[in-house]
Copies of this chain bind each other. A is one copy, B any other.
Amino acid sequence: MRDFSQSHEWLSINTATVRRQWRLDRIVEECARRGIRAISPWRDQVAAVGLQAVAARLRDTDTVLSGYCRGGFFPAAEATGLRAALDDNRRALDEACTLGAPCLVLVVGSLPGALDGNPAYHDLARARAEVRDGIAATLEHARQANMPLAIEPLHPMQAAERACVNTLEQALDLCDELDPARSGALGVAVDLYHVWWDPKLAQQIARAGRERLLALHVCDWLTPTRDLLNDRGMMGDGVIEIRKIRGWMEDAGYAGFAEVEIFSEHWWSRPGDEVLDTCIARHRSAV
């Protein structure tokens, strides 16, 4: 298992972590001057600066990506909605290629309209079938673009609105169904916030293996957690056994970045410098 205590060579910052403090070009700059060599940006942040400008900024600073956020949100109430989702995923793939991402992260979606409090239907099995079909369709383009897709299982508390793929086992079942050859074109993003509680986590990480483990996201689970979305903790401030689980990932062959992704009203209210410096310190002490 890699020793992170002396360097932050394997730290990546998911740019949502400081999205309220800085625009993406500034985030790239602030990371680079701290020796953080990887980020994982969100599409809206890229669009705000401009795709080519971001690509140039990454080149100028020798910054690489640990992932690109995000594709997905496949289920739709109508056929036009599904076509729009597939088109949008194709654009996300193109952007990921332009930025040199190692994978496009998929938050697969769930009951259409639920995010606005008004689900078009309640049939979770239907949403799951639409997700499978959406990933299958997107996978064809992904193979052509040589851009792996990383299915991110989301915490069950997000099952209605954001993702109906809620365990690593379920994500891996999809991978086995759609990419039985383990080609590397389809895998998973393991975000510890979403999966830390899972009694089958160690077993499923081992099952995933190197070809399927495309990303590792870290933060922490606070007790109490006051909000279902935006109360994630800094590594070391909660109960997730981050180092233990990272060990399982590395035993299975994962050798990439530990990407810090913190949605938090608290951390969004702190100065960006403090957030990044804390990420570095905690990467060394708690990841």
**Chain A residues in the interface with B (C-beta under 8 A):** 111, 114-115, 117, 119, 122-124, 128, 155-157, 159-161, 164-167, 169-170, 196-200, 221, 223-226, 228, 239-241
Is the CB–CB distance between B156 and A239 below 8 Å?
Answer: no
Is the CB–CB distance between B160 and A223 below 8 Å?
Answer: yes
With a CB–CB cut-off of 8 A, which chain B residues contact A197?
Answer: 124, 156, 159-160, 164, 166
Is the CB–CB distance between A122 and B241 below 8 Å?
Answer: yes
With a CB–CB cut-off of 8 A, which chain B residues contact A161?
Answer: 223-224
Of chain B, the residue at the smallest CB distance from A157 is: B157
Is the CB–CB distance between B166 and A199 below 8 Å?
Answer: yes
Of B122, B155, B224, B240, the residue contacting A156 (CB under 8 A) is B155
Is the CB–CB distance between B239 and A157 below 8 Å?
Answer: no
With a CB–CB cut-off of 8 A, which chain B residues contact A199?
Answer: 128, 165-167, 170
Taken together as a complex, chains A and B put the C-alpha atoms of A164 and B166 apart, in Å, by 17
Taken together as a complex, chains A and B put the C-alpha atoms of A166 and B226 apart, in Å, by 20
Copies of this chain: 2
With a CB–CB cut-off of 8 A, which chain B residues contact A157?
Answer: 155-157, 225, 228
Give chain B nearest CB distance to A151 CB in angstroms. Answer: 13
Taken together as a complex, chains A and B put the C-alpha atoms of A115 and B199 apart, in Å, by 20
With a CB–CB cut-off of 8 A, which chain B residues contact A225?
Answer: 157, 228
Is the CB–CB distance between A241 and B123 below 8 Å?
Answer: yes
With a CB–CB cut-off of 8 A, which chain B residues contact A160?
Answer: 197, 221, 223, 239
Is the CB–CB distance between A223 and B117 below 8 Å?
Answer: yes
Taken together as a complex, chains A and B put the C-alpha atoms of A223 and B112 apart, in Å, by 12
With a CB–CB cut-off of 8 A, which chain B residues contact A117?
Answer: 223-224
With a CB–CB cut-off of 8 A, which chain B residues contact A114?
Answer: 223, 239
| Known pairs A117-B224, A160-B223; A239 contacts B155 (CB<8 A) | no
Give chain B nearest CB distance to A249 CB in angstroms. Answer: 16
Give chain B nearest CB distance to A238 CB in angstroms. Answer: 8
With a CB–CB cut-off of 8 A, which chain B residues contact A111?
Answer: 223, 239
Known contacts A156-B156, A159-B197; 8 further A-B pairs (Cβ under 8 A): A114-B223, A117-B223, A155-B156, A156-B157, A156-B197, A159-B196, A161-B224, A224-B228
Taken together as a complex, chains A and B put the C-alpha atoms of A240 and B159 apart, in Å, by 11
Is the CB–CB distance between B124 and A241 below 8 Å?
Answer: yes
With a CB–CB cut-off of 8 A, which chain B residues contact A226?
Answer: 228
With a CB–CB cut-off of 8 A, which chain B residues contact A122?
Answer: 239-241
Taken together as a complex, chains A and B put the C-alpha atoms of A225 and B160 apart, in Å, by 10
With a CB–CB cut-off of 8 A, which chain B residues contact A165?
Answer: 199
Taken together as a complex, chains A and B put the C-alpha atoms of A128 and B199 apart, in Å, by 9
6 pairs across A/B with beta carbons < 8 Å?
A115-B223, A119-B223, A128-B199, A155-B157, A161-B223, A165-B199
Give chain B nearest CB distance to A194 CB in angstroms. Answer: 9
